[in-house]
Amino acid sequence: MLTRKQHELLIFIDKHLRATGFSPSFEEMKDALKLKSKSGIHRLITALEERGFLKRRAHRARALEVIRLPENIAPRRAAEPAPAAAAGPAAATFSPNVIHGRFAPNLAGVQRAANEAAAVQLPLYGRIAAGLPIEALRDSGSSVEVPAALLTSGEHYALEVSGDSMVEAGILDGDTVIIRRGDIADNGSIVVALVDENEVTLKRLRRKGNSIALEPANPRYETRIFGPDRVKVQGRLIGLLRRY
């Protein structure tokens, strides 16, 4: 069963695809649902994808496909005519519910719209620092624009780095790291770890027998070793943004 907002978004995307031939932008979806931030749209799309209603085409901007509609909505006609806006060289092979990566050069505005939709708004947490659990760093009013190609399935958030303990892993003070939320990580992964329920740190995770080591990437700092019940993984590093 879908929530009201999930249902509204799915119907809006389906109508937009049938009317224009391509997915609405995150800004259009945010306005249509009267949400305050694009991060809410990202979460709704992820939920619809997990429930089998939507499918995202990897490495393509504005590439949402409606797989199915709720049972109380009439099925879409299989042979629906292509919209007038799609007339031209690409119309013969045009599929109304998927935007294709190869654009005809004479379709004005299409490439600009694709570039605008190539990013996703993620919630931006505060600077990672000792003494605060990750949820305490959340600032619901802040977000950061992240290239969609950086993201995988699942929920993500961004985090500003404070300090130089991971410089030899290429992570500098002031960088913004992209984290995939989760409580499981492979040995050797760089993770956001919650220690003793009150300290959050970004370190490389090493399992040694029944112990967990949080390893810095700077010889000035010592590796810290804990019992398995003292450390909780809160996410895994998947990307990094830096401004020069």
Active site residue 203: yes
Distance CA 244, CA 234 (A): 28
Two tokens, residue 44: 């709704």
> Which one is catalytic: 23, 25, 39, 165?
165
Catalytic residue selected from 95, 203, 208, 232: 203
Active site residue 208: no
Listed as own residue / partner, the contacts of 191-194 with beta carbons closer than 8 Å and 24 or more positions apart are 191/233, 191/234, 191/235, 191/236, 191/237, 192/128, 192/134, 192/159, 192/233, 192/234, 192/235, 192/236, 192/237, 193/231, 193/232, 193/233, 193/234, 194/133, 194/134, 194/231, 194/232, 194/233, 194/234
4 CB burial (10 A radius; 0-12, 13-18, 19+) = exposed
Evaluate whether 10 touches 67 at the Cβ level (below 8 Å): no
Could you tell me the end-to-end alpha-carbon distance of the chain, in angstroms, rounded to an integer?
46
**Contact by Cβ (8 Å): 44, 123:** no
DSSP for 105-165? TTSTTHHHHHHHTSEEEEEEEEE--TT--GGGGEEEEEEEEEEGGG--SS-EEEEE--SST
- Residues with catalytic function: 165, 203
